Amino acid sequence: MSDFDFPDDLLAAEREAWAAIQAGTLTPELAGAVQDRLTAYAAEAGVDRHRAEMALKRAVRHPKG
């Protein structure tokens, strides 16, 4: 379980990016949009962006682990 309370829009964006990665269709625009939203979330929440990014990836890519 994550120590972060990610907003639904950020989780949805990361899920979309992960699906695009798996399909080989990730665009720089989508990757940038997810990164921008993650950076904004980290600033708003007052947390380390890198830790938040790793937790977000775990939450999306390994939801049961």
Q: What is the pLDDT of residues 45-61, one digit of tens each?
A: 999 999 999 999 999 99
Residue 3 within a domain: no
Residues 55, 10, 42, 46, CA torsion sign? negative
Predicted TM-score (pTM) of the model is 0.90
Split into its structural domains, the chain has a count of 1
32 within a domain of the structure (yes/no): yes
Task: Look at residue 1 and tell me whether its pLDDT is greater than 90.
Answer: no
In a domain, 41, yes or no: yes
Start-to-end CA distance of the chain, whole Å, equals 7
Tell me if 34 is assigned to some domain: yes
Give the range of the structural domain holding residue 35, as residue numbers without chain letter: 8-61
Look at residue 2 and tell me if it is in a domain: no
- Convert the pLDDT of each residue in 21-49 to its tens digit: 999 999 999 999 999 999 999 999 999 99
Looking at the domain assignment, is residue 16 inside a domain?
A: yes
